[in-house]
Chain A
Amino acid sequence: MSREALSEPSFYILLSLSGPLHGYGIIKNAAELSSGRIRLGAGTLYGALDKMMKKKWISQMKQNANNSRRKVYEITDLGGDILENEVARLRQLVKHGQQALAALQEVRDANV
């Protein structure tokens, strides 16, 4: 299993797929969640989806007849594990950051 940090776009693609969604839905979801900060280009997203499918982090859902134009994607169990590991890593990152900030604050308070 990959222990490398996920890129921010990859992270938002994966979490967008916690429920079934088509490609453009991912672009909109990532933009909405991040208040427009994360803008996924359609070509960038296509490449990322292709790679994640090969790694089996996500899968394409079976097409239903009434919505056949766009492929719908969904996270796999493996993808879920990747996301969980990443969230644990980020949580640790935040914890360490907060500890460091608290220590810094103590030093500052002592100097007053």
Chain B
Amino acid sequence: MPTSRTKTMWKLRFFAIWREGEEARWLKSMSADGWHLKNVGFLIYEFEKGEPHDYEYALDFRIEVRTDMQEYRGLIEDSGWHYLTHMGGWQYFRIDANKTAGAEIYSDTKSLMGKYWRVLGILGLSALPLLVIFLNYVLSQPTVTHTFPIYVFSILLAIIVYSVFRILLLILRKHEKSE
């Protein structure tokens, strides 16, 4: 009996949220080479070897606590997509490239931008405890003797602020285009 072991491959990759469609295009090109997305972790992607195929990928953002996930994913699957996996709030879907007609996940700019507003909400929520911890640290010491935590905090906050800025810019541009 022939045994076929599925070949898997891991890839490290970073994508900026505001570069719309970049990650989906990369996944599409991987599938064209026969590497189909199986799982996603933080900055890491697992692929399974198969026949090359023309797939379109879509990423949506929905967090568990505020979404009826079964209903949400079911609805998107009903419209032709196949749910693959999720990483944090990012939901990964795939569809045959020749079946995309009429299968857009968002049919208007406003609801499409809702996706980015939800990301902004999460970024804001993650900045808040960071700020509290930092202020607590600074205020609890009459003289700051350790500068390392300050560096770490500043870098993290800078990343968040920059991301928020870029996402807001993306939302503004999209709205301009749609008007």
- Which A residues lie at the B interface, using CB under 8 A? 9, 23-24, 27, 31, 39-48, 69-71
Contacts and interface: CB of A to CB of B under 8 A. Distances in A.
Contact of A71 (B68, B81, B102, B114): B68
Contact of A44 (B70, B71, B74, B106): B106
Given A24-B79, A39-B102, A41-B79, A46 B71 contact: yes
A44 B75 contact: no
A46 B75 CA distance: 7
Contacts of A43: 60, 76, 105-106, 111, 115
Contacts of B102: 31, 39
Given A27-B78, A43-B111, 14 more contacts: A23-B71, A24-B79, A39-B102, A41-B105, A41-B111, A42-B78, A42-B79, A43-B106, A44-B106, A44-B112, A46-B72, A70-B71, A70-B75, A71-B71
A84 to B, nearest CB: 25
Contacts of A42: 75-76, 78-79, 81, 105
Top 8 A-B pairs ranked by shortest CB distance?
A41-B107, A24-B78, A43-B105, A44-B111, A42-B79, A23-B75, A42-B76, A41-B106
Nearest to A8: B108
Interface of B: 60, 68, 70-72, 74-76, 78-79, 81, 102, 104-108, 111-112, 114-115
A30 to B, nearest CB: 10
A48 B111 CA distance: 9
Contacts of B111: 41, 43-44, 47-48
Contacts of B72: 46
Contacts of B71: 23, 46, 70-71
Contacts of A27: 78-79
A33 to B, nearest CB: 15
A69 B68 CA distance: 12
A70 B76 CA distance: 12
Contacts of A41: 79, 104-108, 111
Contact of A24 (B70, B75, B105, B112): B75
Contacts of A71: 68, 71
A43 to B, nearest CB: 4
